[in-house]
Structure 1
């Protein structure tokens, strides 16, 4: 004999209906269904993220900022630094 006989299940069902009421049970079941649906879609999305190949990373050459600009004569002229603008 199993641990839960049909009579035991009937008693459990009656206790649940008494505790929660017949009006709240459909709402609770609907909320549980929505939660499971959201959970299922999130798990599926996580699996799709893992299965999708990662885009190759393209290495870029470092950007060099000029410390000085070369003039027509070949001499280096200093680059003017931007000045700070104060709000009015």
Structure 2
């Protein structure tokens, strides 16, 4: 069924068709592919950024080797007296 429930009522196929025609009239047939291409790039960049941050976060937590600690040089009272 092609009906979406909204607080103000139901939008059916006729209303969707009217909205599409208004968008074509407002933006023109040549401008719509450019708008969709821009939206696609934006969504792709967003997904890449989310996946990149998630991957980097997981990589740092699981595969980051811990640096070995150097032994401390502690002086004792005997060593300081010499």
Q: Please indicate the TM-score interval, normalised by the length of the shorter structure.
A: 0.5 to 0.7
- Stretches of 4+ moved more than 2 A in 1? 53-61
Equivalent runs, 1:1-88 vs 2, <5 Å:
2=3, 3-52=10-59, 53=62, 54-57=64-67
**RMSD after superposition:** 2.2
Q: Which has the larger radius of gyration?
A: 1
Q: 1:12-60: CA deviations, max 9, x gaps?
A: 0011111111110000001111111111111000110111134424556
TM-score of the two chains, using structure 1 as the length reference: 0.59
- Count of residues in Structure 1 that have an aligned counterpart in Structure 2: 62
User: Could you say which structure has the higher helix fraction?
Assistant: 2
- Which ranges of structure 1 fall in alignment gaps of 5 or more residues? 62-88
User: Which SS does the other structure have where 2:11 is aligned?
Assistant: coil
- Which ranges of structure 2 fall in alignment gaps of 5 or more residues? 4-9, 72-82
TM-score of the two chains, using structure 2 as the length reference: 0.63
